[in-house]
Chains A and B, each alone.
Chain A
Amino acid sequence: MSIFLDALRGITGQAAAVPAMRALILTFALVGCVAWIRRRPFLSVSCLWLGGLVGLGFRLLPIVSPLGLGTDPEVSRSWAQAGVNALAEPSGEGFVWGTMSAGSFLATLASAGIPLDLVHVAPQFFVLLGLTVLALLPFGHFQNRTTGAFAAALTLSGGGWPGALPYGAMLRWPFSIVIIIGLFGLGKIERIRPIFHRHRLHSASLAIGASSLAQAFSGDGESSFLAALFLGVAGLCLASPTRALLRRTLASAWAARRVEALTLLCVFAGGGVFWWDPARTIPGYDEATDANEALLRPMAWIRENVPRKSVIVASPEYSAAVAALGGRRVLLPPATTEPNPPLPEPFRRARLFDSARQGRPIARLAEAFSATHLFLGPGEQNPADGEEPAPTGELRLHLALVYQDAKDFRIFQFVKK
């Protein structure tokens, strides 16, 4: 399986693969349109869904590292908490020693016992699941299956407005899948459906207004999740009137089907995954396509050799990575331009960090913080060797080098002489 995925990644990494991928998506879309004209609405939606799967898969497959780790402070904290929830003890506490757990969907998944490697691919998986749910969701809203299929084709393509695609936002905010599934459930409630149908034009207007406001406030190169969601709702509201209108306006049902098919083609190719380029729109995407093997090696060592209750002293640059990939708590929060949550005992932490970097960690503080190891990355200076700090009467520990690799990652264990 791994070899197969690597081979696919090799293909998607080639420049010529992008037009080939688009040609394939367009082929699916064209087949879907022909199926629609030939009164095969389910086949049509299936083709568009497959086209979407190809387009999304093409962009999601190259992601081999947690998306946003090290590039987005909020997401980094979420990944760090997930790593600690999955592998460290005691569970339920923050990834920085002594802090509260930062609640996030990914962290919750990790707490639920899902293996960390699977949690790392959860956003990609949820995006593909989201595509599937969006293709199914409208069928729950419409009694007429063909209208349901029409709405499904519109919804999975972004609702009919160019650029209103939810998948980028879903990749950055995996919890959105819960909202979509919730919407799917709402569609099943018999009491809601008549209200929805009776006021569909007002609902559509409100949804469009809400979407526009959501996009206005969020900005960004990707459509915000709420903006895309509201436009999807508007698309659901307008699907049935649009079909009814086409039936009344055009000379025959066959002509109406052709116009519907053309609409689906334009919507899918304009608002769908056809043009989606997360490398340009999602910060951290390029970084996530790098497996960063050099960093993974010391992290794997930490997972295997550092006790689960241990705290690792690492500089703020490596804190999130140690927690997210190594699965151990850290002493200091990640470096960020945004304010971190309040940190208890900041001065004692700073003293322990400084003393560890000087090669003589203060024993009392190391024990208080459960700190057992010092992690150093490339470019970070080795602790001073053998130099005695000014006598303070405090018991000091020593550092023993337990891991070092060619990339200059080093791990020291705190030991008594």
Chain B
Amino acid sequence: MTSLLGLDLTTMNVTPFLAATRAAFVVLTFLAAAMLSRRQNDRRAGRVVLGIAIAGHLLAWFATMAPLPNVYGANGSQDRENHLGWANVVAEGFSPLYTFQVNHLHFEPLWPLLTAAASGFDVDRVPIVFQWAPLVVGILLALSIRFVWGHGVEDREGRDSEAAFASLGALLLMAAPGDFTGPFRNPWALTFLLKPNHALGLVLAPLAALALARARSWKSRLVAGFVLQLVGWAFVIHMALFVAGVVVFVGLSWVTKRTDRKKDLIDSSTAVGANLLLVSPYLFMLFTAYPFLQASQAIRISPLSERPFEAPLRMGALLLVSGLGAWRAYQNGGRLGRILASQWLGAQIAWQLFPLLGLIGQAREQDEFFYWCRFWMGLFAGAGVFTLVRDTLGRLRAGPSQPPSERAGAAAAISLVVLLPSLLPVWWDPLVMDQYFVAAQKPLPAWIEGPTRFIRIQTPREAVFAGDRSYARWIAAYGARRVLTASSLNSPNDNPRRAEVAAALLSNGPRARMLEGRDRYSIQYVLATSDSVDRAKDMALDELATRPYLDRVYDQEFERRRVVIFKIRYEAIP
């Protein structure tokens, strides 16, 4: 057995392998700290710290992905399998504007398009792209923050190192060791490994902040709006949260009575307005395709819930230094610093609002808010520790003994050592902390692997499947075919109609409904399983085979269930 990265898994002992990657990072970081302590200037220190951030992300990614024969999240994560399905159907040449539910508008169209394009529109390469995407997006995030900080914050002593520590923090300080026991699990794994498309939103958010900070004229304001709408296309919740941070930014300008508060208001409202205009087709898709504002019992939380503590307090002392980092950025970081620090504050406020939203059954997407909050906390914790150490050294060593230009190296060395125990690659143990890693180590169950292999090889590219809604996501994820409805996705607005069509096909219903399956939804196959959840309870699989218009093309009894695939012969419909 080989992993998706091409390593031989039969000889790999995972536990020592994971320990080796963790130890390698510790040694690497100490070597970097030793190098930095030798009077390195700010620019070199920044490069070394950025290198450590990327190396840490790479090692943690490699530790997690190398032992996996399947795509990370396979066998366990519905979200991941949905993403695979989305990317597969785009790689097969279908429009990225639709999900794998036929004719169903998408709410995250950018990512399937990117991954399908990266695979060269080859379905066989999509899993490999999914394995590599977290690494690429993580590196892009580090570079994005470094770029934004370097170009938006005024040039001063230690700026490059500060930027590198912000990158380091955003990547490797967003999670705490005990997070995996909480309801939202490990933010790093769930953002970068499971949902790199959401991490893409994090890559774009600092760029949007930079564009807004540089807005001077109408043209540059529109550019800011354009960058912001890219965040929306990547992940609309990040766009909404970013806008909330911009509101905090403007609010703080007015509360503190800044002289440029009117400019802040005009720039921000223009950029947000332009963003809303640009992203309006997407918002239209969202509103028309998803009834997402309906209150639900499942997303009610108690006003006395401990959730408000969950994001900030699990970080311990890092909460304090991240607050300090945000405060210093607000004070000394120029306009960009104020925007970024406002994002930190906006994220905290948004998170604290959940008990109120929970009262009206609208506390949805808590995990995404949690990760957003942690992203900004990690970013400013990294920058905050460096600022603290640099300032401390400045006070202690004020004098000719060490020129300010070389102080950054020493401060970076100390900061690296102080942060080391909290950096994710030191304590990341996916065998214990990551259920998706454990699940993806196992091969796909035969009752998924067998039928989906048949679907992929034996059915035409444009085939659409009706039938078992629970099985539908595997048809898309591993069979690379579209389906009528999938219980793993949001229901389309025409769901009742789809249900009628599916019922007609299964139970020899009205002819017009059955033909609608062909004409409106292009259904060619029915997949049914012995799991009776999605069929009429009194309907046996063998009864389906008696339908004159259903040709049995696959029938296999597995340990857990029987899976049968029928080809629909519309010409035989009575």
Contact = CB atoms under 8 A, between A and B. Distances in A.
User: A and B, one complex?
Assistant: yes
A266 B320 contact: yes
Contacts of A316: none
A215 B182 contact: no
Interface string A262-295: 1100110111001111001100000000000000
Q: Summarize B's interface: helix, strand, loop or mixed.
A: helix
Given A208-B418, A213-B26, A216-B26, A280 B176 contact: no
A270 B421 contact: no
Interface band, chain A: 35 or more
Q: Which of B19, B29, B306 has the most CB of A within 10 A?
A: B306
B294 interface: no
A55 interface: no
A250 B433 CA distance: 40
A85 interface: no
Contacts of B422: 161-162
Contact of B181 (A162, A211, A263, A277): A277
Interface stretch (A91-99, A143-151, A219-227): A219-227
A220 B30 CA distance: 22
Interface in A180-212: 205, 208-209, 211-212
B420 interface: yes
Contacts of B180: 221, 280
Interface string B405-447: 0000000000001101110001101011100000000000000
Nearest to A206: B417
B315 interface: yes
B26 A209 contact: yes
Interface in A20-44: 22-23, 26
B197 to A, nearest CB: 28
B297 interface: no
Contacts of A218: 19
Contact of B320 (A213, A221, A262, A281): A262
Given A22-B306, A160-B317, A266-B316, A215 B421 contact: yes
Contact of B421 (A212, A219, A267, A275): A212
B19 A219 contact: yes
A269 B313 contact: yes
B412 to A, nearest CB: 14
A163 B426 contact: no
A217 interface: yes
A266 B317 contact: yes
Given A160-B316, A219-B15, A281-B181, 12 more contacts: A22-B306, A158-B316, A161-B316, A162-B315, A209-B30, A212-B421, A215-B22, A220-B429, A270-B315, A270-B316, A271-B317, A275-B313
12 contacts: A19-B306, A160-B317, A162-B176, A162-B422, A209-B26, A221-B177, A266-B316, A267-B317, A270-B315, A271-B316, A275-B182, A281-B178
Task: Return the 8 tightest CB-CB contacts between A and B, nearest first.
Answer: A270-B316, A163-B177, A216-B22, A162-B316, A219-B429, A280-B181, A162-B176, A216-B23
Interface of B: 15, 18-19, 22-23, 25-26, 29-30, 176-178, 180-182, 304-306, 309, 313-320, 391-392, 395, 417-418, 420-422, 426-427, 429, 431-433
Interface of A: 19, 22-23, 26, 158, 160-164, 205, 208-209, 211-213, 215-221, 223, 227, 231, 245, 248-249, 262-263, 266-267, 269-271, 274-277, 280-281
